[in-house]
Amino acid sequence: MTIVLSTPTADAVREAMAALREWQHDESPMQLHAGDIGWNYRIGAAETAAAVRTWSRDGRILAVGFVDSPTVVRMTVAPDAFRDEDLARRLVEDFSLPERGVLPDGAVSIEAPHGLLLHDLLTEEGWGVDEPWTPLFRDLTGPVEDPGVPIRAIGPGEAQDFADVLRSAFNTTKPSGAYRHQMSAAPFFADACCLGAYDDQGNPAAVVTVWSAGPGRPGLVEPMGVHADHRGRGYGRAITLAGAAALRELGASSVRVCTLSSNVGGVATYKGAGFEVQPEVADRLRKA
């Protein structure tokens, strides 16, 4: 059967999200999660749908991609299609030809889970690797430690707290209170929650958003940030623990996150919250 590449409508994104949820399991490599797309709803439903790509055969979705920026696509494949040659060759074609509407000419990168036949074919085509990332994992079978600081749910009334911490944590002016409002209005926010850690004076110190893929499946911590004024005081560990506890309440079997290996402080924070370091991964890179 022919493999069909599609950009879904806003309503059809549900099918892609359902596939991503179904493909998550504790033994799978780090891969695109439904929460990665859910986080993008902060900029709008139509904009998010326009960034999603699906590859289907005989009506079944085999792969889902997310155009995270004009030159970066994050993607994963159904567990039983990791070594599907027809799919892998079609993916290479679609990533290589700008007219297919996935990636442009020039320098681009692809985030894809280890084990895909796609990686072998990209190597044959001369693609290299980008800087390493460190995946981290925590089992949620047992209870999660108390974070030791005041934790609040980030609701509509705390939307500006959420934005202020993200602005400071990532040194950017983009986050606004509308981020929280847009996300919470999206159809998939029932699988998520935003939390804030506060200091003794009630000032927001750290925030996290967590995403469930459903009971018995791995959840995702994305993003987590600590305000610059509160770094080095344990708030990163505290908010990460709070996020892990929230995912456990949602029924998640484990929690995952991935950060640049060069982010030594971030890796240390997650390790301090009980996460185990997994083998490094790297995006595939095509130079200009």
Q: What is the CATH number of domain 138-282?
A: 3.40.630.30
How do 254-260 and 218-226 pair as beta strands? parallel
CB 55 within 8 A of CB 87: yes
pLDDT of residue 123: 97
Whether 5 shows a pLDDT value over 80: the answer reads yes
C-alpha separations of 83 from 46, 56, 223, 226, 251 in Å:
32, 15, 31, 40, 31
Written as six digits, the tokens of 149 are: 């600081």
**Band of the pLDDT at 7, cuts 50, 70, 90?**
very high
CA distance 207 to 112: 27
Mean of the pLDDT values across residues 175-200?
91
Please determine, for residue 185, whether its predicted confidence score (pLDDT) is greater than 90: no
Rounded mean pLDDT, 108-129:
97
Q: What is the pLDDT of residues 8-46, one digit of tens each?
A: 998 889 999 999 999 999 999 999 999 999 999 999 999
CATH superfamily placement of domain 3-132 = Gcn5-related N-acetyltransferase (GNAT) (3.40.630.30)
Q: How confident is the model at residue 219 (pLDDT cuts 50, 70, 90)?
A: very high
Residue 7's identity, in one-letter code, is T
For the chain, the average pLDDT equals 96
* Residue 70: predicted pLDDT: 95
Residue-level pLDDT at 184? 87
DSSP state of 214: S
With contact defined as beta carbons under 8 Å apart, do 220 and 210 qualify? yes
Confidence category of residue 187, pLDDT binned at 50, 70, 90: confident
Distance CA 18, CA 35 (A): 11
Instruction: Give how far Cα 3 sits from Cα of 62, 205, 221, Å.
Output: 9, 48, 33
Angstrom distance (rounded) from CA 147 to CA 80:
39
| pLDDT on residue 11 | 86
How many H-runs (helices) and E-runs (strands) does the chain carry?
9, 13
> Is residue 186's pLDDT more than 90?
no
Within the chain, all domains assigned CATH 3.40.630.30 are found at: 3-132, 138-282
Is 90 exceeded by the pLDDT of residue 142? yes
pTM score of the predicted model: 0.95
For residue 104, say if its preceding peptide bond is cis, omega within 30 degrees of 0.
no
Contact 210, 192 (CB under 8 A): yes
Positive or negative, the CA dihedral 119, 47, 167, 242 is negative
First vs last C-alpha separation in the chain: 34
What pLDDT is recorded for position 3? Answer: 97
**Does residue 187 or residue 137 have the better pLDDT?**
137
- Mean pLDDT of the region 179-192: 88
- Is residue 141 very low, low, confident or very high in pLDDT (cuts 50, 70, 90)? very high
Per the CB < 8 A criterion, the answer to whether 112 and 258 are in contact is no
Q: 235-249 and 264-272 helices cross at what angle (nearest 10)?
A: 50
The pLDDT value given to residue 230: 97
Residue 6 has pLDDT above 80, yes or no: yes
How far are the Cα atoms of 26, 154, 164, 226 from residue 180, in angstroms, in the given order?
Answer: 29, 8, 12, 17
Closest residue by Cα to residue 121 from 172, 163, 83, 148: 83
Per-residue pLDDT, 131: 94
pLDDT at 38: 94
